[in-house]
């Protein structure tokens, strides 16, 4: 190990393994970064499986009630956005 290398490791205690410990502790690239398509595919498959399991466990009346609640929530959000001066001026239902 040369002097320059040891100098670079001085901040980490100068230990020969310190470089590897520093590199191993580097944060992973963000999930949204390019090259994570396989990971996103795995995540999407798992979410689809969970949603299908949840939906199949609900009786029809509960599914309808949940759908109505989600629709009401979406419309309340739309009205809040429109009232704040952002978004379209017309009612999307017309």
Q: pLDDT for 64-74, tens place per residue?
A: 999 999 999 99
The pLDDT value given to residue 7: 47
Give domain limits for the chain.
Answer: 59-86
Q: pLDDT for 48-88, tens place per residue?
A: 999 999 888 989 999 999 999 999 999 999 889 888 887 76
If we measure between CA atoms, which residue out of 13, 44, 50 comes closest to residue 31? 44
Number of H helices, E strands in the chain: 4, 0
| Residue 13 in this model has a pLDDT that exceeds 80 | no
The pLDDT value given to residue 61: 93
């Amino acid at each position: 190990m040369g002097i320059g290398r040891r100098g670079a490791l001085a901040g980490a205690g100068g230990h020969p393994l310190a470089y590897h410990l520093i590199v191993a502790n580097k944060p992973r690239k963000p999930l949204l970064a390019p090259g994570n398509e396989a990971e996103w595919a795995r995540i999407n498959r798992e979410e689809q499986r969970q949603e299908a399991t949840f939906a199949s466990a609900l009786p029809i009346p509960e599914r309808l009630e949940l759908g109505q609640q989600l629709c009401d929530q979406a419309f309340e959000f739309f009205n809040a956005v429109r009232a704040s001066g952002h978004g379209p001026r017309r009612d999307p239902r017309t």
